[in-house]
Amino acid sequence: MKAEIKVPAVGESISEATIGEWAKKSGEFVKRDEVILLLETDKASVELVAPNDGVLTTQAKPGDVVKIGAVVAFIDTEGVATAGMTQPTKNTDVQKATQGPALAISATKLIAPELKSHLSPATKRVVEERGLDASQIKGTGKDGRLTKADVLGAVASSPSPSPSPSPSPVVGGLGATAANYSTPLPVVRPSGGTRGERRVPMNTIRKRIAERLVQSQHTTATLTTFNEIDMSAVNTLRERYKEKYKERYGVSLGFMGFFVKACVQALKEVPEVNAYVDGTELVYHDFMNVGVAVGTEKGLIVPVVKDADLLTIAEIEQAIRHYALKAREGKISVGDLSGGTFTVSNGGVYGSLMSTPILNPPQSGILGMHKTEDRAVVVNGQIVIRPMMYVALSYDHRIVDGKEAVTFLVRVKEGIEEPSRLLLEI
């Protein structure tokens, strides 16, 4: 059976690599996990190892530029070696090969010196640069083979040479000598620590989120504008009426009801933010379905508060709580997530101070709320401490101009800083 040796993915931005040096010759027998090739990229050198025992057949020469995923060699698990190391026979008995008890030494002692002469390219380079004797270094690799870490460890444990009477050149103007910039010491991870990785399949929700985000970046001309809001008035209202409000409506008086209501008022004045682009046409909605982003264990979802322009603040809060509970119980339906014309996302619940939210196509606007923080601001010529929140409006510049976007955000700011405007709809 022939096993393919492919160029592995070595980084998100790397699409090709260069064949650096073959550690084994074509036609040579190689063992599983034995280094066979050194790949060179623009960021690092990568060692490829044999996936199984067999005879190596190379398909590329040193210096060749190969694409990620390209086949550069084969290993024939049933082949016969034609070059280099002789293919080992099964059930090799070292003691039988060494006639007499005086020569009955362990297999490890016979194998180790031979293996130490077959160094990987990276290990060989360090040995040659440091002028080391590989036979004097204990190998910890398979069958006593020397690894790069073994060589670097030997360098670290060896006594430092006497300083030269002549001054060393200064590097970087910081008093560090060129000798300080040698190959770094091997990192020893804490006991039990690993540097492994796990592959976990995306769940359906995460796949959809990924598709929508990429679609948004590719199909819209997104721009973001910012403002800040003094939350003093809303905080005072919440503190004064929170108990009576919960007693009457069964939900807590939160920020989202105020912000959705403020967005509804702003959408009435700037209908472009509630519209979308369809080919060469602009589609305007005569209703306002506001999506509210909700974080769940499976990912971010956006249930939609239908006809939010017809609801009171209490009814908006009740709808948001209803959808949040359904989402966290895994009972949210497709209908609950569809039909939105505008979205509100509150990253402040996670501590975000400022962000640029991504549009939810085909919508043309999304409001990002953030963490409320006490900051020094100027009010009527005086420096005072106020609870302030940064807000961001991301919008599709194909349909919404800067003037409309700024106007929308200013109207939201006015509605939150003077909640009476929301009741009077002015």
Euclidean distance between CA atoms 422 and 424, whole angstroms = 6
Closest residue by Cα to residue 311 from 270, 263, 343, 246: 263
Euclidean distance between CA atoms 82 and 92, whole angstroms = 20
392 pairs with which residues across the strands? Answer: 226, 368
Cα within 13 Å of Cα(271), Cβ side:
7
Would you say how long the chain is, in residues?
426
- Using DSSP, how many helices (H) and how many strands (E) does the chain show? 11, 21
Asked if 5 contacts 19 with a C-beta cutoff of 8 angstroms, the reply is no
Given the residues 76, 143, 309, 401, the one annotated as active site: 401
* H or E element that contains 411: helix 402-417
Would residue 322 show up in a list of annotated catalytic residues for this protein?
no
Would residue 76 show up in a list of annotated catalytic residues for this protein?
no
Read off the DSSP letter of residue 363. -
Given the residues 118, 285, 322, 397, the one annotated as active site: 397
Residue 413 CA to chain centroid, in angstroms?
34
Rounded to 5 degrees, φ, ψ at 55 are -95, 130
To 10 degrees, what angle do helices 255-269 and 313-328 make? Answer: 120
Asked if 358 contacts 209 with a C-beta cutoff of 8 angstroms, the reply is no
Euclidean distance between CA atoms 27 and 31, whole angstroms = 13
Question: Catalytic residue positions?
Answer: 397, 401
